[in-house]
Chains A and B, each alone.
Chain A
Amino acid sequence: MGGTPTSVTLTVNGVERTLEVEPRMLLVHALRDDLGLTGTKVGCDTSQCGACTVHVDGRAVKSCTVLAVQATGAEVTTVEGIGSLARLHPLQAAFVEQDGLQCGFCTSGMIMTALDLLARDPDPDGETVRHALAGNLCRCTGYETIVDAVRAGAATMRSPA
């Protein structure tokens, strides 16, 4: 059987990491299990729910649909890399204030996708936000407070205090 473990070096949240992984290992599992970054979640089998969304080389992708080996040499950012409890990213703060979450399981993915949208469209309207979140499923909130959070976070990011 194939699958000899191979060495993968990638930058995760600004830190260079080297992992020994089987080629079949999904990036989401490498992040969660090998690097202990459990903020990124697994919610489905079919690349739909978006709970696993991270940034690879600056773009939001579903880490359940990327092999860890594909990310060799790449810069990966997870939700843990954009802010912390001591210092929330404005978008994270907006999700808290606008109640853009309930159970929170979809939240990491929502935030990472939203950041990608805002990088290119810093002032999106509600419809644009909803379209951008087509690949992120939420079961608790009904999405409205998520949209509010993205737009509120965007406003803060446009004019930081």
Chain B
Amino acid sequence: MIPAAFDYVRPGSIEEALAALADPDAKALAGGHSLIPALKVRLARPSVLVDLRDLDLRGVAIDEAAVTIGALTTYGEAARALAGVSGVDALREAIGSVGDLQIRNAGTIGGCIAHADPASDVAAAVLALGARLTAQSPAGTREIAADDLFLGPFTTALAAQELITEITIPRGGGSAYASVEDLASGYPLAGAAVRLARAGESDGSCRVALTGALGAPSRLPSVEALIEREGVEADLSAALSALELATDDVAYRRHLVEVVVRRAAARAVERSAA
């Protein structure tokens, strides 16, 4: 219930923060609502926490083409900024699924993505929306496509001394996020984000991302191909049965995956036509 002891530093700049993260036992602290619960049960035992709170990485910028979210923007701030903003519905719905009012006031979008929980709602949404992360390290700044970010459970392509600074989400198409939540934890047993192109949009692809049921939040290329070929009414059973689910309760979970993909796809179709 109480973390093991650690030291605490609160850098005033990204450079200072990155330098503090040179210690292999250091952990970055954003909103803390994934890290602190892990500290409390002593699953994580960092020697030092690097509190990013004072870094100027908050805020949401919106233009016609994209939404750019500072990494330390809370779920709640992002939700309010995205209210009524078209072309990012999957992200807004995923954020609304996260935790509860208090958790959304504290947890951050960047922290969530960097944490890479295999049941992260937001991860599915950023995958389906083709988001790009801007990340900074002592070597400089780079862009990472969401597609290249999630490598496994709680594992990303970020280096130890690298921090997400902002998340850019291209607007467009019709998208949605649908999930079936575990009654106790609220985490998705299966959560699907689907993005469909509007008629006449240059990017005609369908993007489908799944969370909660796999080892990491992932695109489902075989499902995407089927939907692109045959529309959202396509028979997905063959594609879904090939998925390696991260559970022993395969039949029910596979069924839930289909349910959420269909629900998200149906809403995405409506929005892409609107």
Contacts and interface: CB of A to CB of B under 8 A. Distances in A.
Is there direct touching of A and B in the complex, by C-beta distance under 8 Å?
Answer: yes
B79 to A, nearest CB: 11
Given A62-B106, A134-B100, A134-B101, A67 B7 contact: no
Contact of A22 (B5, B53, B186): B5
A24 B39 contact: yes
A72 B1 CA distance: 22
Q: Interface size class for chain A?
A: 20 to 34
B51 A69 contact: yes
A3 interface: yes
Interface string B37-69: 101110000011101010000000000000000
B6 A23 contact: yes
Nearest to A54: B102
Contact of A70 (B2, B5, B32): B32
A140 to B, nearest CB: 20
A118 to B, nearest CB: 12
A22 B2 CA distance: 11
A152 to B, nearest CB: 20
B7 A53 contact: no
Interface in B184-219: 186
A70 B1 CA distance: 18
Interface of A: prevailing SS: mixed
A65 interface: yes
A135 B5 contact: no
A62 B33 CA distance: 9
B152 interface: no
A113 B102 contact: yes
A70 B37 CA distance: 15
Nearest to B100: A135
Contacts of A113: 101-102
Nearest to A63: B102
Nearest to B74: A59
A113 B100 CA distance: 10
A135 B102 CA distance: 7
B18 to A, nearest CB: 20
Contacts of B76: 59
Contacts of B41: 45
Nearest to B9: A23
Contact of B101 (A29, A66, A116): A116
A110 B253 CA distance: 34
Contacts of A61: 102, 105-106
Interface in A28-49: 29, 45-47
28 contacts: A2-B5, A23-B7, A23-B8, A23-B49, A24-B4, A24-B5, A26-B2, A26-B36, A26-B40, A45-B1, A45-B41, A53-B102, A59-B76, A60-B102, A60-B105, A62-B106, A66-B36, A67-B8, A67-B32, A67-B49, A69-B8, A69-B51, A70-B29, A70-B53, A116-B102, A132-B101, A133-B101, A134-B100
Q: Which 8 A-B pairs have the closest CB atoms?
A: A135-B100, A3-B5, A23-B8, A2-B7, A134-B100, A59-B105, A24-B3, A61-B106
Interface of B: 1-8, 10, 29, 32-33, 36-37, 39-41, 47-49, 51, 53, 76, 99-103, 105-106, 186
